[in-house]
Structure 1
């Protein structure tokens, strides 16, 4: 059976949510005030989340919530309450990185659909199979994968969601500790300082500038992702959800 295709747009603010819905997105993803990988976005409090679900569903749009940071033991009680709230609010799925969060969600809200975040660093079909075995209905593979990798992932029978626009980091999806080491702000806790977007110089042991501006100052910043030219191949490979980045 042919899967329907979904355009998935970000919403870091209420205005962005309205814009995405009015522009024709099939689904939107957003974060609450905690447990989301974009802690510096405006995000949504519980009242706003409930209103967002109502607004999206009134327009026939699905709404996913990011619960995709690593959680500490001391946060589990708050996390359990939050997951129960999201389930009762009627969100269509939550996006998860931490296996402990996954286990807790399966225990207390087993009917709530779960998506494996790109932060989970799923890089092959075996990773997709593992997510499916854990009860996840969708996987968001690492954005570094090739079309052939995506085809193999989709062959596992789980919905595959892939980024088509947004940042490419110098480190592998879900594996970066650069922000934590340089600035004490962990991307895995939603507080990435984006050090790979900063200007750098490359200095030799003798102090000589090895590049002298030939490569520009942004030595660790790859060009942003733009997959428009390969959308037909992605569709043919079995990707069903096409994700735009940008909650910030």
Structure 2
């Protein structure tokens, strides 16, 4: 059985490394232009080179997004940009615009092309059209069911790969093609600058009474007309694989390294368990529990099983649920002393009960009894971002391991 690819977001070089260490088969990244996450740190050309080398040394792939819907002014920079990226060693570029596709084919004909979900790929005829143009992979629209995906797989060539989102934020607009942000905030969502007005709170105005705002009483907390729950398909890994998908994609180039690593780790475990024994596969609820320890909204299955209903919208708040704080990353471990050197990422102190997670196990608990600064002075608290902290731990740890703790009230 051909193994499905687990594809993770990487908003910067650090996230790329954590995604791969925690189990991604491939990552998708954005350069500093032409990607749909303008607010992410994104990658310089030097970062791309380092990230591609890091991935390839571990047998993993790197895809670059070029999936904005460009205007004329964008096109003027495209030829030079493609010339600069074509020899970096990228495994594919992801795009949505036919003009961008033409540029890539003209100036970098050897680059593999994946068609973005922004292109609204909802049927087998569209998928076949793009395959005939030279597209290697079609990223399907989020608005498809398992039955529709299976039919597309059955009516397209095996050489055409199919990819679909399985986890992360959902856009209220069709396959992400939204005009609300442009209209309300002057920020073009289709060129990477979405202000997420779908998450804002709204009131109702009657036509003949301008200036009078009437609350629509969904809850006492506010009114959120367009606010979707987050997609989560961890419970349906067998269905995803058997539908014929070649790649399972996680959303989140704007998210933290803790988010990326934790989500990838849970799906990696579920996928690997399936391939060990497809017929005897048993879903483990602890995978879902791990996903809930990461900042998230309530979860939905999106369109996979049925068209969404009012149960798939969030009417109470646009805020995230955060039950755990990500507090640090392991930089090194001295096996003789049992002391780990930690880079602080959030406030913690002596006496806190923490959890240690890594790519190869779920977590262990530890109470901080002693802690030291970079100069080996005893300290009571680690209050400064990215300060070096030394912690005696009861077990060996490795670089890239993470520390978390239950969020304080």
Q: Which residue of 1 aligns with 2:65?
A: 66
1:35-54 aligned at under 5 Å gives the runs 35-54=34-53
Q: Which residue of 1 aligns with 2:19?
A: 20
Q: Is the 8 A contact 1:202 1:211 kept in 2?
A: no
Counting matched residue pairs gives: 247
Deviates more, 1:199-208 or 1:164-173: 199-208
Residues 106 and 214 of structure 1: is their aligned pair in 2 closer, same or farther, counting only changes over 3 Å? same
Q: Is there any run of 5+ residues in structure 2 with no aligned partner, and where?
A: 255-409
Q: Report the structure number with the largest CA radius of gyration.
A: 2
Q: Which residue of 2 aligns with 1:186?
A: 188
Return the TM-score normalized by structure 1. Answer: 0.93
Q: CA deviation at 1:210?
A: 3.4
Given the alignment of the two structures, is residue 201 of structure 1 paired with residue 203 of structure 2, yes or no? yes
CA–CA distance in 1 between the matches of 2:240 and 2:126? 19
Q: Is the 8 A contact 1:27 1:61 kept in 2?
A: yes
CA–CA distance in 1 between the matches of 2:138 and 2:99? 17
Q: Which residue of 2 aligns with 1:237?
A: 243
CA–CA distance in 2 between the matches of 1:114 and 1:215? 45
Q: Which residue of 1 aligns with 2:170?
A: 168
CA–CA distance in 2 between the matches of 1:54 and 1:244? 22
CA–CA distance in 1 between the matches of 2:249 and 2:195? 22
Q: CA deviation at 1:208?
A: 4.2
Q: CA deviation at 1:197?
A: 1.1
Deviations 1:171-206 (A, max 9, x none): 111421111111111111011111101122345667
Q: Is the 8 A contact 1:114 1:136 kept in 2?
A: yes
Report the 3-state secondary structure (helix = DSSP H, G, I; strand = E; otherwise coil) of the residue aligned with 1:89.
Answer: coil
Q: CA deviation at 1:15?
A: 1.6
- Between Structure 1 and Structure 2, the one with more strand by share is 2
Residues 134 and 200 of structure 1: is their aligned pair in 2 closer, same or farther, counting only changes over 3 Å? same
Deviations 1:54-88 (A, max 9, x none): 11111111000000012233433421222222220
Q: Which residue of 1 aligns with 2:252?
A: 246
Report the 3-state secondary structure (helix = DSSP H, G, I; strand = E; otherwise coil) of the residue aligned with 2:43.
Answer: coil
Deviations 1:95-118 (A, max 9, x none): 001110001111121111000001
Q: Is there any run of 5+ residues in structure 1 with no aligned partner, and where?
A: none
CA–CA distance in 2 between the matches of 1:212 and 1:5? 41
Deviations 1:28-65 (A, max 9, x none): 00000000000100000111111111111111110000
Q: Which residue of 2 aligns with 1:75?
A: 74
CA–CA distance in 2 between the matches of 1:85 and 1:5? 31
- Between Structure 1 and Structure 2, the one with more helix by share is 1
Deviates more, 1:206-215 or 1:154-163: 206-215
Q: Is the 8 A contact 1:120 1:174 kept in 2?
A: no
Q: Which residue of 2 aligns with 1:98?
A: 97
* Structure with more contact order per residue of length (Cα contacts < 8 Å, sep ≥ 6): 1
Deviations 1:213-239 (A, max 9, x none): 268532211101011122211211100
CA–CA distance in 2 between the matches of 1:49 and 1:208? 50
CA–CA distance in 2 between the matches of 1:8 and 1:221? 25
CA–CA distance in 1 between the matches of 2:218 and 2:111? 54
Deviates more, 1:162-171 or 1:151-160: 151-160
Residues 212 and 53 of structure 1: is their aligned pair in 2 closer, same or farther, counting only changes over 3 Å? closer
CA–CA distance in 2 between the matches of 1:223 and 1:190? 21
Q: Which residue of 2 aligns with 1:159?
A: 161
Deviations 1:128-161 (A, max 9, x none): 1121122100011111211111112222122111
